[in-house]
Amino acid sequence: MNYHNVSFEAAYGLHQQIPVSSLPEVAFSGRSNVGKSSLINRLLGRKALARVSSEPGKTVTINFYNLDGQLHLVDLPGYGYAKVGLSEKKRWSGLIEGYLKDEKRMLGMVVQLVDMRHPPSAQDKEMIGFLLETGTPFVILLTKADKLNKTERQQRLAAIGDEIPGLPEDTVVLPFSSKTGEGVDELRGILEQLVAFCAEHPELLPETDESPEAEPQVPADAADEESDEEQITVEYIGFDDEE
């Protein structure tokens, strides 16, 4: 795949708005400060396709990116932002859960992000438990790996299996650094395997005779700049604190 051939498609504030999958999908999930925007940008070799929101909690959507016409990268709202009210947290939860349980999706995999410097949070464990319960394929990316020395990295890798209840031994756990590029090739390889599998099994795509219930929420700046791919700037809903 050409990782530079990527474009923003749409943002949805309610899962009912999302149309039936037209391409295989890979969703990115993680806490609000886990480094999701940097990961997406590094994966795609771009500087600002996904960016930090200047006003956390203002607009929360599921963002869709089209990768080379072969795969949808689906950016789920970052969870765990403490200053958001209860009603908004419930909307976020319904948005994420509605997407993950939607039978109209061809969700090939979830990339679950965890900050490598710390044990998984209660919400990380809850999300991974949900993926295990629903049988959703996933890999764990340990972000900010460059901030640990060799001994600390070994300790964290050894501990994570015990820190997440019920984690299968064969779960892919991949250290990742948006600064050094560690883990980029491995993640791309996983995505390409998924695309190849889906290409061999087109019957897995759901029927596409349904229409979305509402128009997608396309950020104004993205709509204005659609013609210049390198200029696309989308309000990123991960609210990452890139330490």
Q: Which residue has the higher pLDDT, 34 or 235?
A: 34
Residue ranges per structural domain of the chain: 6-235
pTM over 0.95: no
Q: Is the pLDDT of residue 237 over 60?
A: no
As a whole number of Å, the CA-based R_g of the chain is 17
Q: Which of 38-52, 60-74, 77-91, 193-207 has the highest mean pLDDT?
A: 60-74
182 pLDDT band (50/70/90 cuts)? very high
Q: What are the DSSP calls for 40-96, one per residue?
A: HHHHHT-SSSEE--SSTTS---EEEEEETTTEEEEEPPPB--TTS-HHHHHHHHHHH
pLDDT at 162: 93
Taking each helix axis from N to C end, the angle separating 86-101 and 122-134, rounded to the nearest 10 degrees, works out to 30
Q: Which fold has domain 6-235?
A: Rossmann fold (3.40.50)
- Mean pLDDT score across all residues of the chain: 81
For the ranges 88-92, 158-162, 172-176, 228-232, the lowest mean pLDDT is seen at 228-232
Give the C-alpha separation, 188 to 170, whole Å.
19
pLDDT at 78: 84
- What are 196-213's pLDDT values in tens digits? 999 998 888 887 654 444
